[in-house]
Chains A and B, each alone.
Chain A
């Protein structure tokens, strides 16, 4: 854990040091150690610092949401992006954009609402006739659902060229050009979600033992499930509203976290907190460097790196069941 935190600090530092523009790592480093440099000051503190902060928050949100969703669906492939939760949020944002909403807060609550609807839809499909017992069928259901929502989003965009132009950058998922205002707008809902997650971590761990055991221990499985779904919706909706739909982070982070933390969901959630930002920031740094001076959007990079992980998981002879 300590190692992870150190790594996170190191990656954040690198994220401040590296990027487009004439300010190289050396110059940025001398700025951080106290040198006067107004241009470097602007680039590092006005552009890179917010981006790093947003990366950290988005990473935490997606990682925790992934772990929660996997725990409640009892399915290692349950990932907000794959299951259509992000697609729901994206659809809602597109709808809001076309209807003329531009305020950041409104956009976020709309995205969270969309994520909630997406979550509820997919999980109710999962509980239907044992689709959820087969991880891979659940992913297929999610793919069907995402496809449906993506076409509805396209349909909306057909009506509105301006929104289409605005959204084609956002829909890839990227941390570039996001401002601190966006971050402040999502912080309240993130805080609410964290408090709820802290409260339900213990019952959730009990739920992992099975529904009857959890009831026997005095918990309410259905209530827990609904709270988890609400949290996932808050987290994914907020992250999607700032950074656009970013796939596969919610799949990879809990995997690494489970490998390090073991089966207990409480420990897994703690480990997700540094690992999520670590992966998002690392991907973001790579996205800045790999085709410099232009940038590869983060969403593309996570898809390129995450799809092999998905395939590797699926190829494993026996899927680890939760």
Chain B
């Protein structure tokens, strides 16, 4: 009984209504009204745990490589009092790449969980419904010289938008639910993939090699400026997604139910879609199509969280963690040969996707 007489008595002046089971409440007064925020204890624990794991992975990431730096030296180098060599390796070489890995992973996973919620299907990530391929095709076009005047990040955004418009347009008759929508997206992705292959085959081998990391997803060839743009977009996107968190939770229900609960369904879906597409485009501009992170990140977050709400923050953190670990593996496993991070995630993510498909059907998202 949440509203027992005792609680009401305490709400009158001396205390407050006890928060629901498993929540913490932070209450404060401002002016006339009383405000409060509820925090789900499990979500807080999950987010803190993922954040801690991300920090730990980052330190390992910074310390391993062709030049090994001891973890303590990494910390010293970060705070600026280590020897020159360690400082240079950590700050100049590995830190920017770590930032790129973490923010692309976060962006892919955030875009993934937004799209999954929108389509009410855990397989509907931007990578699978062809948006990654669209962004890649446009970015490769700008690299091989079909659109030289436009920088890759802008082209990737344009490509992501084009692919999203195509997929959603083509699936329009059936709505965005279910698997048909996804197969329509696979078709769109196949077309863009073919166009990318075509462009790569028509240029000289050197240009093709320059564009090659773009087709598999790699953190090697990061265009300058794209990372800053991505970090800005990610910050804004994450803030927006957190602000939308309540309506995201309701978007999982039927449209009628959600509108009945006060969500402007059409507008929210459009916002969520735009956010997801923009994040995907920006992330592809930095790292190419590393689509599987958009699937794995949200899946990890969901398996750790309770099903009360959409774990937006946890998915973002998990995506960053997955990407950092994958790039670490790619850099170190077969050293000195470097495996592009897109290949690492695809080799892990393909079986993962099959496993999701083969698991007994549960309700999605």
Contact = CB atoms under 8 A, between A and B. Distances in A.
A147 B201 contact: no
Given A129-B358, A168-B200, A172-B201, A315 B173 contact: yes
A77 to B, nearest CB: 8
Interface stretch (A135-143, A265-273, A274-282): A135-143
Contacts of B188: 307, 311
B231 to A, nearest CB: 27
A172 B186 CA distance: 17
A154 B194 contact: no
Given A136-B182, A154-B343, A310 B191 contact: no
A137 B179 contact: yes
B357 A296 contact: no
B42 to A, nearest CB: 30
A315 B180 contact: yes
B78 interface: no
Contacts of B342: 151
Contacts of A308: 187
Given A144-B350, A151-B346, A314-B184, A137 B173 contact: no
A141 B194 contact: no
B197 A139 contact: no
B350 A151 contact: yes
Contact of B205 (A143, A152, A159, A165): A165
A161 B208 CA distance: 11
Interface residues of B, number: 48
A174 B234 CA distance: 41
A310 B190 CA distance: 11
B323 to A, nearest CB: 15
A147 B350 contact: yes
A154 B187 contact: no
Interface in B142-195: 170-171, 173-174, 178-180, 182-184, 186-188, 190-191, 193-195
Contacts, number: 130
Interface in B316-365: 337, 339-340, 342-343, 346-347, 349-351, 353-354, 357-360
Interface string A136-171: 110111011101101110110011010011001101
B25 to A, nearest CB: 42
Q: Is the interface of A mostly helix, strand, loop or mixed?
A: helix
A247 B184 CA distance: 15
B262 to A, nearest CB: 33
A315 B184 contact: yes
Given A151-B343, A311-B170, A300 B360 contact: no
Given A125-B354, A151-B342, A314 B183 contact: yes
Contacts of A128: 358
Contacts of A297: 197-198, 201
Interface in A294-308: 294, 296-297, 299-300, 303-304, 306-308
Contacts of A304: 191, 194
A181 interface: no
Nearest to B202: A294
A268 B360 CA distance: 35
14 contacts: A77-B183, A125-B358, A144-B353, A144-B354, A158-B337, A158-B340, A159-B337, A161-B209, A164-B212, A168-B208, A300-B198, A303-B190, A307-B191, A315-B174
Given A151-B216, A306-B190, 18 more contacts: A129-B360, A131-B357, A134-B179, A140-B128, A140-B186, A147-B350, A148-B346, A148-B347, A150-B346, A152-B347, A158-B343, A161-B209, A164-B212, A171-B197, A172-B201, A307-B191, A310-B184, A314-B180
5 closest residue pairs by CB, A with B:
A148-B350, A151-B346, A303-B194, A136-B179, A144-B353
Interface of B: 123, 128, 170-171, 173-174, 178-180, 182-184, 186-188, 190-191, 193-195, 197-198, 200-202, 205, 208-209, 212, 215-216, 292, 337, 339-340, 342-343, 346-347, 349-351, 353-354, 357-360
